Chain A
Amino acid sequence: MSDAWFWLLAAGLCASAVSVVRSRDLVRAVLWLALGLLLTAGLYAYLDAPFLAGVQVLTYVGGVATLMVFGVMVTRRHTSASAEASNDSNAVGVLAALGVFALLATAILKTDLPESSAPTQTTAELGRALLDTYLLAFEAVSLLLLAAIVGAVVIARRRDVETRETRGSAALPSIRVGRTEAD
């Protein structure tokens, strides 16, 4: 593949990233993010990481879909969703972003970056690394995902009867039963 591909992907990626953060409509922002992630997958492929490209696409299909559901849910119900960035924080944001970029760019340009022609890891090597070199971390990540699932369920669960009638329920008067919790 030629450099042109890289520039094409990079330009698209930047454009979609800017659209993600600028778009007022949440659903659109999510769609822009999806595009951006797909373009990143393209870049991975360009950078000799086909397996990662695949994982990127697969993972984010699920993730982005969930985000989209949320976006739709939130924007449909609420007018306030369109209340977006005001101008003052806009200036702060631009400044901060420029600051971060300037910092990173300076550091990158000032550094003698290593150049190596060592071949990148193949998918098989990647798999071996995961289950050998990084075995501990791999197990820890599985614990992390388990914890996240348990946690997400605990937080998102709508109805769990809290107070026991036998004990101090009078002291705990107002369990807020919101509209969404009534069902």
Chain B
Amino acid sequence: MTLVQCLLLASALFSVGVYGLITRRQAVAMLLSIELMVNAANLALVAFAKYAGAPTQPLVLFTLAITVAEVAVGLALVMLLYRRYDDTLLDAASETKG
């Protein structure tokens, strides 16, 4: 296996995440898509560590931690959305515009 294939795999995963980010209307599903995209980045990092000898493994831990923090706050906000709108559809909250 080579670095190219790993990176292409990561890119594919990232793109799938992008698709989800754009099309999903559920707030929770959007969080899932973000997890997918971060996962893709992590995969690329690990691949670089293996094939290019880059010291990228610690970075994976940091992105994981950051994502955890983001998702924690994100879930709290989704809960707030749910309480205010009785719904977790992102489009429900679109009162400010124009």
Point out residues on A near B: beta carbons under 8 Å: 3, 6, 10, 13-14, 17-18, 20-21, 26, 29-30, 33, 36-37, 40, 43-44, 47-49, 51-52, 55-56, 59, 63, 66-67, 70-71, 74, 78, 80-81, 83-85, 89-90, 92-94, 96-98, 100-101, 104-105, 108-109, 113-121, 126, 129-130, 133-134, 137, 141, 144-145, 147-149, 151-153, 155-156, 176, 178-181
Instruction: Give Cα A47–Cα B49 distance, bound, in whole angstroms.
Output: 8
Report whether B62 and A48 are in contact in the complex, using a CB–CB cutoff of 8 Å.
Answer: no
Report whether B43 and A121 are in contact in the complex, using a CB–CB cutoff of 8 Å.
Answer: no
Q: Which residues of B contact A156 (CB under 8 A)?
A: 76, 79-80
The number of chain B residues with a CB under 8 A from chain A is 69
Supply 16 further A-B pairs (C-beta < 8 A) apart from A98-B15, A104-B11, A145-B65.
A21-B20, A33-B32, A36-B36, A40-B42, A44-B43, A49-B60, A59-B64, A67-B32, A85-B24, A101-B14, A108-B4, A120-B49, A137-B62, A144-B69, A152-B72, A180-B83
Q: Which residues of A contact B80 (CB under 8 A)?
A: 155-156
Q: Which residues of A contact B8 (CB under 8 A)?
A: 105, 108
Report whether B15 and A40 are in contact in the complex, using a CB–CB cutoff of 8 Å.
Answer: no
Report whether A26 and B69 are in contact in the complex, using a CB–CB cutoff of 8 Å.
Answer: no
Contact of A74 among B50, B61, B88 (CB under 8 A): B88
Contact of B11 among A56, A84, A101, A116 (CB under 8 A): A101
Query: What residue of chain A has the Cβ atom nearest to residue B69's Cβ?
Result: A148
Beyond A17-B16, A20-B36, A108-B4, whether A63 also contacts B46 by CB under 8 A is no
What are 26 of the A-B contact pairs (CB < 8 Å)? A10-B5, A20-B32, A20-B33, A21-B32, A26-B28, A78-B87, A81-B89, A83-B89, A85-B24, A85-B25, A92-B22, A96-B19, A97-B18, A100-B18, A101-B11, A105-B8, A109-B4, A116-B53, A117-B53, A119-B53, A121-B49, A121-B58, A151-B73, A151-B76, A152-B72, A155-B73
Q: Which residues of A contact B16 (CB under 8 A)?
A: 14, 17-18, 20-21, 97
- Which residues in chain B, 36-71, are within 8 Å of chain A measured between CB atoms? 36, 39, 42-43, 46-47, 49-53, 55, 57-58, 60-62, 64-66, 68-71
